Structure 1
Amino acid sequence: MQLGIRLHDTTKRPFEERIAEVHQLGFACGHMALSKVIDEFPTTDEALTPGLAMYIRNVFARNQVDIAVLGCYLNLANPNREQLAETVHRYMAHIRFASWLGCGVVGTETGAPNETYSFTPECHTEEALKLFADNLHPIVEYAEKMGVVVAIEPVYRHIVSNPKRARKVLDEINSPNLQIIFDPVNLLDMENYAERKSVIEEAIELLGADVAMVHLKDCAVRDGKLVSMGCGLGEMDYTVVLKFMKERKPFIHATLEDTKPENNQRVKHFIMRKYAEV
């Protein structure tokens, strides 16, 4: 695997210095959420020009770091039509930008059918799934025109909450430009934590062929809640996930999540050792 890191989990520095440090830390790629990583200049929709893309691309190339994911984690199930239109515009701007950047995927989670992007039981209904798929469809069509992959990330507390619902969206939209960001921990909650091995195995069985990249983090139960953290700091068994990556996804981008500047090297060495052992 080509191991990287979520860029806004690294030490806050000017953009060029931050990317240089990512290389110095030994990471091969990064997950970039523009507004969380760049302060020196605007990253509004109108700012996302070919020139800015080529500047950013050159900074990454100079430091031998790939852009694994351009994050656009906005709610495509927002019932407020005005806010939804702004969100769709933002997605399309990111997709255009990604085509100039040469990044791996434009990544997104899958929202909630409310304006606050918060979990309610309605998230897991068929109506919410249809709403999300209907709103995602034109985004994927635009990605096809721009030659970009959009990757959805199933999350237990969002609309695409499990592997079966993710498979349903993939099959309904039926596009090679729609793929999956596989984050095993995000598929888990207290409701299914005891069955976590079978949940992860089902995800690999149903979605493995369409996995474009992987997020790696850990989790543990703390005070009756499932809490996420850096790899090796919790209770996760990575054998199944890393075996899948090693056998079926050569050189796949995998980015660490929920690390801190003071532990990212410990986490990196832990997961690289596990990867070597499987």
Structure 2
Amino acid sequence: MQIGIFAKTFSGTSVEAILMAVREAGYAVSQFNLSCAGLASMPDAVSEKVLRKIRAATKASGVSLVALSGTYNMIHPDEAVRARGLRQLGVVIAAASHLGIPLVTLCTGTRDAEDQWRHHQNNADPSAWHDLVTEMAKALALAERFGVDLGIEPEPSNVVTSALDARRLIDDMASPRLRVVLDPANLFETATAEAAAALVRDAVERLGARIAMAHAKDRAAIGRLVPVGHGIVDFADFVARLRGVGFDGPLVAHGLSAEEAPAVARYLRAVTT
């Protein structure tokens, strides 16, 4: 597996400095965000100058970019907000294509109008699923045009809350471009180690070949995020199960500080070798 980290773990807007920090911390690949190049995460445009800067930085650092963030609230209650997000997603997808980045990550959204990562009681309403399917069809058309895959991630706060929801959306959309980013710590908020392991096992088995990228984040039993290896996620078992379904892609750390990054890289190398 390729051991990676969110580029945003490291501060600044110098792409070369950030990717050099990624490499020096012990990572070979990175999930990139356009804010690391001094743009908005979801910009209205990406110039050729910025694209050249990113290409030069990846070459100089030797760090490969395996995913690009394209998150906006896909079921925002205001259709105009969704429309703007879709336009910006088109910009991000085009940039990913130009940079040779194979995957753009999404946020399946929430009915909360202020925070796309906050749960809302209306997420379970059938209209929320209808809006997601409608929006996803538009996003997949863009992805098909540019030859890029889209990654959805089960998150307790979003409309796709579980592996079961992700499987349902994959079946509804019937597009090979729709893939999954699987973060074991996002499959639960509070759990025992045994319950967490069961959720992870079910998710890997259910999603299988659709998993394009795995995330490495950990939680304490009470729900608090903790450094990888210090919570209740059994990462050795997670890695073994991913390999069991044929996954050999990027395992990308996030939810950590720059200071914690080298130790997490060492830990992830230990559980993947």
Q: Does the 8 Å contact 2:42/2:92 carry over to 1?
A: no
Match of 1:166 in 2: 166
Change (3 A) 1:123 1:250: closer
Q: Does the 8 Å contact 1:230/1:256 carry over to 2?
A: no
1:16 maps to a residue whose letter is: E
Query: Which deviates further from its counterpart, 135-144 or 249-258?
Result: 249-258
2:68 maps to a residue whose letter is: L
Give how far 1:44 is off.
6.4
Match of 2:34 in 1: 34
Give how far 1:58 is off.
2.6
Aligned-partner SS, 2:221: strand
Query: Which deviates further from its counterpart, 226-235 or 173-182?
Result: 226-235
Aligned-partner SS, 1:84: helix
Give how far 1:215 is off.
0.7
Q: Which runs of 5+ in 1 are unaligned?
A: none
Match of 1:146 in 2: 146
Distance 2:234 2:41 in 1: 38
Which of 95, 101, 120 is 1:97 aligned to? 95
Give how far 1:249 is off.
4.1
Distance 2:217 2:253 in 1: 6
2:37 maps to a residue whose letter is: I
Distance 2:61 2:234 in 1: 32
Q: Map 1:237-276 to 2 at 5 A.
A: 237-249=234-246, 251-276=248-273
Change (3 A) 1:244 1:61: farther
Q: Which runs of 5+ in 2 are unaligned?
A: none
Structure 1 position 65 matched with structure 2 position 67: no
Q: Does the 8 Å contact 2:119/2:156 carry over to 1?
A: no
Match of 2:52 in 1: 54
Give how far 1:81 is off.
1.6
Match of 1:129 in 2: 129
Change (3 A) 1:44 1:274: closer
Distance 2:207 2:137 in 1: 19
Between the aligned residues of both structures, percent identity stands at 23
Change (3 A) 1:240 1:24: same
Change (3 A) 1:31 1:247: same
Give how far 1:218 is off.
0.9
1:25 maps to a residue whose letter is: A
* TM-score with structure 2 setting the length: 0.91
Change (3 A) 1:72 1:43: closer
Give how far 1:260 is off.
1.1
1:38 maps to a residue whose letter is: A
Cα displacement string for residues 45-90 of structure 1 (whole angstroms, at most 9, x for unaligned residues)? 4431344323312311221111111001210001212111110101
Give how far 1:240 is off.
2.8
Query: Which deviates further from its counterpart, 165-174 or 23-32?
Result: 23-32
Change (3 A) 1:43 1:164: closer
Match of 1:186 in 2: 186
Aligned-partner SS, 1:47: coil
Match of 1:201 in 2: 201
Give how far 1:12 is off.
3.6
CA RMSD of the aligned region, Å? 2.1
Change (3 A) 1:81 1:11: closer
Distance 2:37 2:129 in 1: 33
Give how far 1:251 is off.
4.1
Match of 2:23 in 1: 23
Distance 1:21 1:252 in 2: 22
Cα displacement string for residues 107-155 of structure 1 (whole angstroms, at most 9, x for unaligned residues)? 0121102312321222234332222121111101110011010111111
Query: Which deviates further from its counterpart, 172-181 or 185-194?
Result: 185-194
Aligned-partner SS, 2:237: helix
